[in-house]
Amino acid sequence: MLRHSRPASWDWSKGSIAPAGLAASVAADDGRPVARTEASRPSVHARRLLIRTRIMGVPPSPKSRDQPGKAGRYCAGRGTGNRAAPGRGISAHERGGRVPRRAVFMRVLTLSAILILWWSCAAAQDSCVVHGHVLGCDGKPMRSAFVRPFGPGRSGHLAAATPDGEFQVAFPRPGGYFLVFGGVHHQTLFMPLLIERPGPLELTVRLSAASYRSSFDSVQVVGDFNDYKSEGALPMSRRTDGTLIASVPCDRDTLRYQLLGVQTGTLPICGTQADTFLVDRRNPMLGNQSNSFISVLKAERKPVQVVFDPARLPRGYDEPVITFADPLRVAARIVDISQDMSRRGRRISDALAAAKAAGRADSFHWDASPDLKSLATEIDGERATLTRAYLLLNYVHLAVYAPDSTKARRILAEIPPDSPVWSLEWGGPDKTFYDIGQMAKRPALWRDYGERVVAAHPDSSVRAAFLYDLLEEAQKSGDKERAGRYYTQLVGDYAGSQYADWSKKQYGPNRAVMVHKPCPDFALAGLEDSARVYRAADFKGKYVLIDFWATWCGPCVGELASLHRAHEKFKGRGLVILSVSFDEKRETVKRFRSGKWPMPWLHAFLPNGFASGVAAAFEIVGIPRPILIGPDGTIVAVDEDLRGEKLDGTLARALGGDAGRLGPRGALTAPSSPRMPRWSRPSQVRSRRPAGRSPS
């Protein structure tokens, strides 16, 4: 008689799951429990025999049936050590009858199904289902929409919304995640999602419409007919009814296209005329932009008349509206904080844009004290642990303008190493953790906390990010033992992460860009004249400082004062500087050089930036990346030795001269402090962040 009706039970003697058939072995034939003792515990042979006979239906061999102290002791269930009496514990067909193979197969199949069902039920106990509606700015379903989850256990697979806007996404367990919402002609939304307990979570999202230009006088069509490039884009002509039209050639059954000159900025947007829409997987999704869809028209291998009707563009809502069915959930509070930080960030971005328009970008300074004061009040009044932790991290995001060591140390003391809020840092928490270390000014405390996160956090991407920060710190401090240990763990345990890739390119023993190694060959088109190509052979016999940079990169601009002084001091000693821009357009660099920083040296332009072959050859994972090449074509110095105060000393040692003549950096030099990140890196998916925080 079985004592349990569950498909499986816990075998405490083995510390593992035992199938239901084995549960009967802990009770006597008359149902009385038998104590588990060393004397009564069945042998390995007996357990194997039980599985063969009672579960798989395979009759035991005569030798096995007649062995005293093995099958007899176990099948009788008495623990006496005597051979089983005939008919006790083994059925008649088990004593000699043959069981058809079909019966054996069915029993194995049944057992497998029971085990699968048990594991499914166990996993379902921790699972979380997020469901609801994603709607347009008018509160109605959009022509096409999607939801894309990111986080531990979710790799970012798209989930299409139904025609009425319904969606459902399952998560394996509670924790920190992101949901990305996209809709036709609406801005893509990146929403942090903190699930504090298993079960369903319902919400409704109303996206904000795309931001359009004031007039549509220069709308162009790009698509699969010209590989979506702005070169070769077809202009649209205006008709009397206010619509625009263009004849687009097509040699396929369908035409896929997008429009330039519709939304603000340079990104394309899908057209208003479409038989269907496809998600654009060619480019990364961008927060607060509408570049995620491609319009598709039936073409039948002949030119298509593409019509754009501005009146069909949705308009309304400057920011998305997110409503939770249960507003008391922690997830709702986290989203409120995130939206509040986005509003603060937009104010900073707008102020910076105004300063650039007025030609005061270099002297721009944001007074963050009112924002920091209000955030500090919220932190002190917040009782929920997770919410307070998220507020503290967002305080650090704004505190780059006014570093606060007290709050940084509070984070290291209050936030548990396994807290899910670390998973709510879009792009990874490495940048935030780096800033915390710079503000706290307690290296030992910072390292100890980082190592505890690596040991305890359930999110592998968070562990990899912290390990990467620890590796960088160990490298800069010269601790080779720790650096080697961190590097081995990072590239071994997190081989598929972006942090492992960065580490190999920056610190790998076999990397191509190292001191004393030959410089990779290159061919770079000139900035002013694209026909002028700079090659490695052109600089033989000279010292050349190659500086990979961009105007949008704050740390890059922060190095320009040092570069200008180095140019003035060493240009007569054979030093050549070649700045290689990662900007999207040449005109952007030209306008930048007409301001405070003329950069009177050689310039090249690198299309595709981080995705280019040159970036791969030079193992560039972030900018600025300065590299000093000697007259014989070998690498003399890289990275930190060519930045800030170290630049003058490195050049003086290489070219000869007094390294101390320039003295400390003056007012023109951007300070190396937590106010400015040390790197700007590419990101597969970017969201809007406060100005001054480079995406990591």
Per the CB < 8 A criterion, the answer to whether 466 and 415 are in contact is no
Q: Domain for residue 518, yes or no?
A: no
Q: What is the DSSP letter of 211?
A: P
CB of 589 within 8 A of CB of 581?
Answer: yes
Q: Look at residue 601 in the predicted model and tell me its pLDDT.
A: 96
Q: What is the pLDDT averaged over residues 203-211? A: 95
Q: CB of 505 within 8 A of CB of 493?
A: no
Whether pLDDT at 57 is above 70: no
270 or 154, which is more confident? 270
In a domain, 668, yes or no: no
CATH of the domain at 154: 2.60.40.1120
- N-term to C-term CA, the chain: 62
**Is 383 in the same domain as 495?**
yes
Whether 582 shows a pLDDT value over 90: the answer reads: yes
In degrees to the nearest 10, what's the CA dihedral of 373, 374, 380, 384?
A: -150
**Which of helix, strand or coil describes residue 29?**
coil
Q: Indicate if 378 and 461 belong to the same structural domain.
A: yes
Would you say 299 and 257 are in contact if contact means Cβ atoms under 8 Å apart? no
Please tell me what DSSP assigns to residue 263: B
pLDDT of residue 262: 95
Instruction: Report, as an integer, the average pLDDT of 62-87.
Output: 42
Q: Are residues 497 and 536 in the same domain?
A: no
Concatenating the DSSP letter of every residue in 616-644 gives: HHTT-SSB-EEEEE-TTSBEEEEGGGGST
Q: Which of 69, 24, 199 is nearest to 129 (CA)?
A: 199
286 and 337 belong to one structural domain: no
Of 321, 272, 286, residue with least CA distance to 134: 321
User: Are 237 and 378 within one domain?
Assistant: no
Pairing of strands 523-526, 8-11: unpaired
Both 501 and 589 in one domain: the answer is no
Report the C-alpha gap between 289 and 187 in whole angstroms.
Answer: 5
Q: Whole-angstrom Cα distance, residue 399 to residue 393? A: 10
Indicate the number of domains in the chain. 5
pLDDT confidence of residue 51: 53
pLDDT at 511 over 50: yes
pLDDT digits (tens, 9 = 90+) for 316-364: 767 899 999 999 999 999 999 999 999 998 898 889 888 877 877 777 8
3-state secondary structure of 406: helix
Residue-wise pLDDT for 647-688, tens only, equals 999 999 998 754 433 333 222 223 333 333 455 655 433 333
Could you tell me if residue 341 is inside a domain?
yes
Query: Residues of the chain with pLDDT > 70: what percent?
Result: 76
Whether residue 527 sits in one domain with residue 650: yes
Burial class (CB in 10 A: 0-12, 13-18, 19+), 140: exposed
Coil, strand or helix: which one is 401?
A: helix
Helix (H) or strand (E) holding 493: helix 480-493
DSSP assignment of 594-623 equals: TTT----SEEEE-TTGGGSHHHHHTT-SSB
For 528-548, the three-class secondary structure string (H helix, E strand, C coil) is: CCCCCEEEHHHHCCCEEEEEE
Q: Label residue 13 by pLDDT band (50, 70, 90).
A: very low
Is 21 among the domain residues? yes
Q: Helices 430-440 and 460-477, interaxial angle, to 10°?
A: 40
Same domain, 180 and 254: no
Residues 429-434, mean pLDDT to the nearest whole number: 94
What is the predicted pLDDT for the residue at 300? Answer: 85
Residue 306 has pLDDT above 80, yes or no: yes
Residue 567 sits in a domain whose CATH number is 3.40.30.10
- Among 6-15, 328-337, 372-381, the least confident range: 6-15
CB 180 within 8 A of CB 148: yes
- Whether 39 and 52 have beta carbons less than 8 Å apart is answered as no
In a domain, 214, yes or no: no
235: which 2 tokens?
Answer: 């202009």
What pLDDT sits at residue 28? 38
The per-residue pLDDT for 124 is 47
Mean pLDDT calculated for residue range 553-572: 92
Instruction: Return the SS3 of 206.
Output: strand
Do 454 and 603 lie in one domain? The reply is no
pLDDT attached to residue 323: 97
State the CB neighbour count (10 A cutoff) for residue 427. 22
Give the helix/strand (H/E) hosting 554: helix 554-558
Single-letter code of the amino acid located at 628: L
State both tokens at 439: 């503000």
Alpha carbons within 13 A on the beta-carbon side of 640: 10
- How much is the mean pLDDT over the chain? 81
**Burial (0-12, 13-18, 19+ Cβ within 10 Å), 231:** exposed
pLDDT single digits (tens) 220-235 = 999 999 999 888 899 9
Q: How far apart are CA 519 and CA 626, in angstroms?
A: 13
Mean pLDDT for 414-425 is 96
Neighbours of 319 (CB within 10 A): 15
* Host domain of residue 376: 330-507
Alpha carbons 196 and 486: distance in angstroms, whole number:
31
Confidence check: pLDDT of 257 > 50: yes
Provide the pLDDT for residue 9: 36
More confident residue, 283 or 650: 650
R_g over Cα of the chain: 33
- Closest Cα partner for 522 from 539, 541, 509, 510? 539
Q: How far apart are CA 528 and CA 182, in angstroms?
A: 39
At residue 407, does pLDDT exceed 70?
yes
Does one domain contain both 15 and 97? yes
Alpha helices in 24-128 (DSSP H): 44-50, 62-65, 71-76, 92-95, 101-126
* Domain-terminating residue out of 91, 123, 155: 123
The Cα 469–Cα 443 span in angstroms is: 12
**Angle CA(280)–CA(431)–CA(650) in degrees, nearest 5?**
110
The domain boundary, picked from 97, 123, 149, lies at 123
The arithmetic mean of pLDDT across residues 19-47, rounded, is 44
- Nearest-CA neighbor of 501 among 481, 471, 535? 471
In a domain, 229, yes or no: yes
Whether 278 is in a domain gets the answer yes
Identify the DSSP state of 312: G
Whole-number Å distance between alpha carbons of 199 and 195: 9
687 within some domain: no
Nearest one of 141, 219, 221 to 184, comparing CA atoms: 141
Residue 474 tokens read as 């160990």
- Domain final residue, candidates 285, 312, 339: 312
Identify whether residues 472 and 361 lie together within a single domain.
yes
**DSSP H helical segments within 239-368, as ranges?**
330-357
Q: What is the DSSP code (8-state) at residue 184?
A: T
286-300, pLDDT tens digit by residue? 777 787 899 999 998
Cβ atoms < 10 Å from Cβ of 570:
22
The full 3-state SS of 347-396, as one line of letters, equals: HHHHHHHHHHHCCCHHHCCCCCHHHHHHHHHHHHHCCCHHHHHHHHHHHH
- pLDDT tens digits for range 120-132: 554 445 679 999 9
Task: Using the structure block, give the residue that is written with the tokens 């007012």.
Answer: 667
Residues 156, 226, single domain; the answer is no
Rounded to whole angstroms, how far apart are CA atoms 216 and 542? 51
Count of helix runs (H) and strand runs (E) in the chain: 20, 26
When mean pLDDT is compared across 14-18, 364-368, 519-523, the lowest value belongs to 14-18
d(CA 582, CA 686): 17
What is residue 417's DSSP assignment? Answer: T
Tokens of 120: 């499914």
Q: Which residue has the higher pLDDT, 470 or 656?
A: 470
Query: Is 70 exceeded by the pLDDT of residue 40?
Result: no
